[in-house]
Amino acid sequence: MEAKRGSTPATGGAWSVSAEETEKWMEQAMQMAREALENIEVPVGCLMVFNNEVVGKGRNEVNQTKNATRHAEMVAIDQALDWCRRSGKNSSEVFERTVLYVTVEPCIMCAAALRLIKIPLVVYGCQNERFGGCGSVLDIASADLPNTGRPFRCIPGYRAEEAVEMLKTFYKQENPNAPKSKVRKKECQKS
């Protein structure tokens, strides 16, 4: 089998991306996160890149859809599946060669989904202290779990401060879907 663009297919740990790729795709992911923030969603944005092409992208749509599972990654996965259908490609083969760029560490739910579809590499911005599934709360990414896809490699920390700033900006404003009791007192006192 021929090697594509110097990447090693479907072996997980061997995947890597260049600094240029990271810069280019993370910039777009940041723009998606900004768009989420402007739409009063938790500011997370992501891109799924296969063969140097964006096959899926997403930002949080939880408030808009009133569906707690509509995280950026889930939106992007749905788009990537559509892309595979339209281009007549086998989604398993595509996902095994797809890199996910996301502004915040994927949560436990998304990390599990990424494992199941066998994404080999996730490049992300800041840690997700509350829900992170790549080490912050649980390590779904590298845990030895039976029958749950394949562990994936993570490259954390790219433009982390910016990603955190966006999250802080969001949590300073009132989340329209949060029950009143959950609005933190400190923030009420400040404003």
Contacting residues toward Zn ion, per CB under 5 A: 71, 107, 110
The least CB distance from residue 118 to Zn ion, in Å, is: 17
Whether 73 is catalytic is: yes
Q: Give the Å distances, CA to CA, from 163 to 21, 70, 176.
A: 18, 19, 21
Which position among 73, 105, 174, 187 bears the catalytic label?
A: 73
Using CA atoms, how far apart are residues 127 and 43, in angstroms rounded to an integer? Answer: 13
Closer to Zn ion by CB, 107 or 134: give it.
107
| Minimum gap (Å) between residue 56 Cβ and Zn ion | 14
**In the complex, minimum distance from the CB of residue 155 to Zn ion, in angstroms, rounded to a whole number:** 18
Within 10 A of 189 (CB to CB), how many other CB atoms are there? 7
Q: Which is nearer to Zn ion, 48 or 107 (CB)?
A: 107
CB of 177 to Zn ion, least distance (A): 16
Which C-beta is closer to Zn ion: that of 32 or that of 107? 107
* Distance between CA atoms of residues 167 and 128, nearest Å: 10
Residues 6+ apart with CB under 8 A from 105: 124, 125, 126, 127, 128, 132, 133, 134, 135, 136, 154, 156
9 or 110: CB nearest Zn ion: 110
As annotated, the active-site residues are 73
